[in-house]
Amino acid sequence: MPQATNNGATNNVSNSVEIRRLSVPRWIQNGTEDSVVLDCEYVYNENDLRLVVKWFFEDNLEPVYQWIPELNNRHTSGILKNRLDLDFAVNTADTYSRFRALKIQKPSTELSGKYTCLVTSLAGQDSREQVMTVFGKQTFNDSFLKLLIIKPLRTAARKTCGSVYPAFPNERSYSEPAHLIYLSLIAFTLSYRASRSGAA
């Protein structure tokens, strides 16, 4: 039978299992890591009979990993089949959380996507999700620029710059010099307005 534990968490009392932290690497360069760990930290109590930990990839209904502590049973499938280190344990002293995490061997680009941790019991359930991206060199140059620079600047420009500049260039041309100059002008305008606002 599960015994109440807080796994180092706060003293807030929960009536059933509760995920406190989901740790998933956001960016990994392909070929640079021997392994990565995706961890799902949760707390539980004596009400959480028949505890089950499941990990899902993208929106697939079948879990890529399932662990049933009371049966000492683990199962892998789909994209993670033969990709996990099944000897890895995050907490060898806790029977109900030791195999909660995924240690993925040699992560590659096809493993990019959304990972969801679902922990269930007879008393309740909880889930969290996070996206992991495994990128090649060119993918990093293009996707990183578009996701973390182009889109935020474009949104900010629409909100704060109004009609000061013409229409934002097509995303496909973001590597062209003209587009970079355009971005520089927007960044300068946003910085200038922020400094004026702070001085007011």
Give DSSP secondary structure letters for 37-94.
EEEEEEEB-TT-TT-EEEEEETT-SS-SEEEEGGGTEEEE-GGGTTTB-TT--S-TT-
Residue by residue, pLDDT tens for the chain (200 residues) are 576 565 444 344 578 999 999 999 999 999 999 999 999 999 999 999 999 999 999 999 999 999 999 999 999 999 999 999 999 999 888 999 999 999 999 999 999 999 999 999 999 999 999 999 999 876 545 555 555 555 566 665 566 555 554 554 554 444 445 555 556 666 666 666 666 666 65
What does the pLDDT read at residue 133? 96
For residue 139, CA distances in Å to 24, 76, 101, 136, 151 come to 20, 29, 27, 5, 16
What does the pLDDT read at residue 158? 62
Burial of 94-129, coded b for 16+ CB within 10 Å and e otherwise, reads bebbebbbbbbeebeeebbeebbbbbbbebebbebe
What does the pLDDT read at residue 91? 82
Interior CA angle at 131 toward 35 and 150, to 5°?
A: 115
Tens of pLDDT, residue by residue over 59-85, are 999 999 999 999 999 999 999 999 999
What is the phi/psi pair of residue 189, to 5°? -60, -45
- 18-133 CATH: 2.60.40.10
Output the pTM of the full model. Answer: 0.66
Run of H or E residues at 145 = helix 145-145
What does the pLDDT read at residue 179? 53
What does the pLDDT read at residue 8? 40
What does the pLDDT read at residue 11? 42
Cβ neighbours of 155 (radius 10 Å): 11
